[in-house]
């Protein structure tokens, strides 16, 4: 019998990233494709967007995100809104040549059940809030 453990975060490594500029106002969106590391199979398609607002104080209140996890798909869809300063810093840093991949952890509003082997257990499609995210950018 499998042992299921609760986890409130998802770990992954960045496979690729690209900056898209949409519309006449060239609204930026950083599209990041990640491989899951804390769950045995699957990927995450992450969209990172800057918060729209006049000041960093306003931006802080508009940050956050969600992740959609699907029963019948091996890809999760996530979107996060970050302050403009964080977005700019991330865009400058994420694509630097590295010997190791960039790592990312998404903290979730609810725990998921993951087996010791890394299998994810969900009965239906779910959408969870992303409460925080942490990037690890290798320096050497």
Q: How far is CA 30 from the centre of its chain?
A: 11
pTM of the model: 0.88
Which sign does the torsion angle of CA 79, 84, 86, 87 carry? positive
The tens digit of pLDDT for each residue in 35-91 reads 999 998 899 999 999 998 645 444 455 789 999 999 999 999 999 999 999 999 999
């Amino acid at each position: 019998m499998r042992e299921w453990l609760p986890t409130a975060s998802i770990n992954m490594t960045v496979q690729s990233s690209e900056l898209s500029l949409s519309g006449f106002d060239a609204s930026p969106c950083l599209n990041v494709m990640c491989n899951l590391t804390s769950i045995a199979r699957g990927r995450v398609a992450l969209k990172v967007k800057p918060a729209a607002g006049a000041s960093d104080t306003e931006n802080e209140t508009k940050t956050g995100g969600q992740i959609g996890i699907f029963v019948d798909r091996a890809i999760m869809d996530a979107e996060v809104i970050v302050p403009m300063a964080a977005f700019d810093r991330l865009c400058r840093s994420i694509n630097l040549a590295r010997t190791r991949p960039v790592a990312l952890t998404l903290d979730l509003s609810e725990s998921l059940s993951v087996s010791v082997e890394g299998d994810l257990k969900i009965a239906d499609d779910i959408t969870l809030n992303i409460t925080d995210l942490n990037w690890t950018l290798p320096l050497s």
